[in-house]
């Protein structure tokens, strides 16, 4: 199964930084993660970028059991 890596608010919403989720496309992996982690995770996905193996990915991109799917929410901050 693909490895799902979660960062920042995605990690907070899921309660974990790493998991395995079954799926043969990015969309299937994200759908499985949403079913597992619930509405707070779905909210994060609306604005998050998704990368596979360190490269930007689309929802229709295929994934295999050796791939890493990373969810990268937007980050805010800076000096006040």
pLDDT at 76: 64
pLDDT at 79: 53
- Two tokens, residue 21: 């989720």
Percent of the chain with pLDDT over 90: 91
Could you give all domains of the chain from N- to C-terminal order, each with its CATH number? Answer: 3-72 (3.10.20.30)
Q: How confident is the model at residue 75 (pLDDT cuts 50, 70, 90)?
A: confident
pLDDT at 47: 95
Are 1 and 12 in contact by the 8 Å Cβ rule? The answer is: no
8-45 pLDDT per residue, tens: 999 999 999 999 999 999 999 999 999 999 999 999 99
Buried b (16+ CB within 10 A) or exposed e, 18-38: ebebebebbebbbbbbbeebe
Are 51 and 66 in contact by the 8 Å Cβ rule? The answer is: no
Residue with tokens 């309660």: 15
């Amino acid at each position: 199964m693909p490895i799902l890596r979660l960062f920042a608010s995605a990690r907070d919403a899921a309660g974990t930084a790493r998991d395995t989720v079954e799926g043969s496309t990015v969309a299937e992996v994200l759908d499985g993660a949403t079913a597992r982690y619930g509405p707070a995770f779905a909210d994060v996905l609306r604005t998050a970028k998704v990368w596979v193996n360190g490269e930007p990915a689309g929802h229709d991109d295929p994934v295999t059991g050796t791939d890493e799917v990373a969810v990268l929410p937007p980050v805010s901050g800076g000096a006040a």
